[in-house]
Chains A and B, each alone.
Chain A
């Protein structure tokens, strides 16, 4: 997940939480304030009532003397009420308190905030209840909630857009560094050294660091290229002289048979030396990105060409070779290198398969990836040998006359083309090399 998305998600969650807290707090505070208002007005009423309470009123209450012994008065719209009755408990011990209660007033049930007031008048204990209907307040509170919710939602949406824009703006240089630089880090020659414009010091540091790093890598690449060229020239020129001199010497009539034998052996040694140098240089050159001209490769043609080159070996060893390349997979690669890659694998397959054995080449799609498998019925390898075959100068057996560079070259070429190689082998049964090509 990208940094910018992570930041967006994180801040969205934080903002949601904050807004939820604000919503709850505001609702709570408003409710408190509204109740405080109601309650203070009820206390005022109580004081007025108690102050104006006189004997006649009590008497009116007493004279009525009905069975419930209640004195009730309602306002017209039932928005408030007063109720007075005798208490059984001792008034002095009871404190005033507020309760939310439903009351039925003239067959209409409503929620009221009720103040209970205990008092003693002329040695008689009374309870005074003052009620204030809550529905108006609640309606108001609900409207308040709605307005707050609306405001908070609008704030949330606006701040989200503002922040997305801001994050995008802030991270734009970073995105540029990734797109133009980090993504091209494997191709030092194509690296863009121009500075990314930003005022964020961290990004300036990152950009400068990357530029410096790539400068060094490019420098190293150039030096390596120079070194390779020097080695090519300085090592191969003396070999060239020696080889040609020995070739001329071979035809010198004054040299006897023994001398000719020795010259021929020297020529062979020189040839081995030349091949080692050339193969090492080939690996270096591949790793130095000197093979950049990629073109469309037709594997069916490539492999049939190779089989034609190797035809006589196949014939002399009486091998059964079958090649079924049936998919037309489009692949861009370096023709010379891919030729070498398949040549080396096929050459080994033919070399290590006893006379009369078989070699088969086939292609398939495995998990959407194109794969070419080269199997032989050769002598196979142990696990320990398998783990080493791609190492330089690795020879499976000592009689092997090669230099142990063939598969190291295969490995370099495969890496350059992002081809994955899997080798399965069983001693005495055979070996299968499977090349998995990157998805196009």
Chain B
């Protein structure tokens, strides 16, 4: 998968590239509207991460040009808070998703996966982790054809951890993913622990899950 990262802050672009490359994406970086448009024209990209505040114009102009060219490219808009009144505005302008800075890289990974899947066809409908099958479309998990009844939040957590497998996911990242931008996170970590405990109990009934690790004081990781 080819990703075009349009971001004028180099240090941020470096971290994005670092994360996305490790997740198996091939990344190209553009720092201005002009170079972004040039890149989009010359090469084929599956998705674009688009920062709105660019030195030579607004990312919206890039978005408009890209959409005019009828390119089948997934676009995730990245903005500082306050540049848009609300999410609807960003989506109305033709973006497929919308993230406000600062965001967790793992959240970006999950959103990117979902968007690419949606835009480029549902080629992958199932994730497999040690025999457990996650059906992405109907939010179901099964083990050897035996369905496992998970709550919506347990499913969200499981899917998020699997999509970011082999990475440590902090409680904070999980909390933000499950509840969005809530009031306070510290007191929520306990709630995450309760959900993870329940999820593990349900999975553990079917097979050993030593691959579902707890990283002490930090969070969780699924090894695969």
Contact = CB atoms under 8 A, between A and B. Distances in A.
Nearest to A270: B102
Nearest to A343: B183
A134 interface: no
A309 B183 CA distance: 13
A347 interface: yes
B102 A264 contact: no
B184 A267 contact: no
Interface in B145-181: 151, 153, 166-168, 170, 172-173, 179, 181
Contacts of B183: 343-344, 347, 402, 406
Contacts of B166: 251
A411 to B, nearest CB: 15
Contacts of B151: 312
Contacts of A278: 81, 181
Contacts of B173: 247
Interface stretch (A13-21, A160-168, A231-239, A368-376): A231-239
A220 B15 CA distance: 38
Nearest to A271: B172
Interface string A92-116: 0000000000000000000000000
Contacts of B15: 241, 244-245, 247-248
Given A240-B102, A241-B12, 4 more contacts: A268-B172, A275-B185, A293-B85, A336-B86
B172 A401 contact: no
B153 A261 contact: no
Interface stretch (B33-41, B66-74, B212-220): B212-220
A424 B141 CA distance: 47
Contacts of B186: 268, 272, 401
B19 A312 contact: no
Contact of B9 (A241, A290, A313): A241
Contacts, number: 114
B12 A260 contact: no
B11 interface: yes
Contact of A232 (B83, B153, B194): B83
B105 A271 contact: no
B105 A244 contact: yes
B218 A251 contact: no
Contacts of A343: 182-183
Contacts of A351: 187
A415 B142 CA distance: 50
A243 B168 CA distance: 14
Contacts of A243: 102, 104
A271 B185 CA distance: 8
A426 B185 CA distance: 28
Contacts of B179: 309
A281 interface: yes
Interface in B75-98: 80-83, 85-86
Contact of A236 (B11, B80, B181, B218): B80
Contact of B83 (A229, A237, A250, A402): A229
A260 B218 contact: yes
Contacts of A257: 216
B153 A312 contact: yes
A354 to B, nearest CB: 14
A316 interface: yes
Given A260-B218, A261-B218, A268-B172, A244 B82 contact: no
Interface in B178-200: 179, 181-187, 191, 194-195
Contact of B105 (A247, A261, A272, A344): A247
A232 B184 contact: no
Interface string A211-242: 00000000000000000110011001101110
B203 interface: no
B216 A316 contact: no
Interface residues of A, number: 46
Contacts of A229: 80, 82-83
A285 interface: yes
B80 A274 contact: no
B195 to A, nearest CB: 7
Nearest to B172: A271
A61 B120 CA distance: 146
Given A248-B18, A285-B82, A403-B184, A239 B102 contact: yes
Given A248-B18, A260-B168, A236 B216 contact: no
Nearest to A317: B191
A239 B11 CA distance: 11
Contacts of A285: 82
Contact of B85 (A236, A237, A290): A290
B110 interface: no
Nearest to B185: A271
19 contacts: A228-B82, A229-B83, A232-B82, A236-B81, A237-B9, A237-B80, A241-B12, A245-B11, A248-B105, A250-B218, A264-B218, A268-B185, A275-B184, A278-B81, A281-B82, A285-B82, A290-B85, A336-B86, A401-B187
A248 B85 CA distance: 30
Contacts of B104: 243, 247
A250 B16 contact: no
Nearest to A351: B187
Given A247-B105, A248-B18, A264 B191 contact: no
A403 B185 CA distance: 10
A351 to B, nearest CB: 7
Interface in A308-364: 309, 312-313, 316, 336, 343-344, 347, 351
B192 to A, nearest CB: 10
A167 B53 CA distance: 57
B32 interface: no
Contact of A244 (B22, B80, B102, B167): B102
Q: Which of B9, B86, B184, B216 has the most CB of A within 10 A?
A: B184
B12 A237 contact: yes
A251 B167 CA distance: 6
A236 B99 CA distance: 13
